[in-house]
Amino acid sequence: MAVFKHLVVVKFKEGVAVQDVLKGMEKLVSEVDAVKSFEWGQDIESHEMLRQGFTHAFLMTFDKKEDYTAFTSHPSHIEFSATFVAAIDKFVVLDFPSVVAKSPA
């Protein structure tokens, strides 16, 4: 069975302390064993026209969809979600089983 991915792409509100949000997210994923890996990054290369205002991407990996479902109802996730949503202007979320076309070397 394919691993399950949770991808969130965001544009933070003006004046938000992004580092505080990032620390909160790192704390969240450290508290929930179902999260197998967590990666994030800030766009530094895309043209504004292509970026459409989005600046950060967050990617979580789970062994299976059921682990992701458990994550969404975890008390730490529910608590952090309120803080996260208040800090963002707009976002896109994609949840999907991963298809590996080329494995890391």
Question: How many angstroms separate the CA atoms of 55 and 23, rounded?
Answer: 17
Q: What mean pLDDT do residues 31-57 have?
A: 90
Q: What is the pLDDT of residue 1?
A: 60
46 has pLDDT over 80: no
pLDDT in tens, 57-77: 999 999 999 999 999 999 999
What is the per-residue pLDDT across 5-36, written as a single tens digit (0 to 9) for each?
999 999 999 999 999 999 999 999 999 999 99
Selected residue with higher pLDDT from 50 and 22: 22
Class of domain 4-97: alpha beta
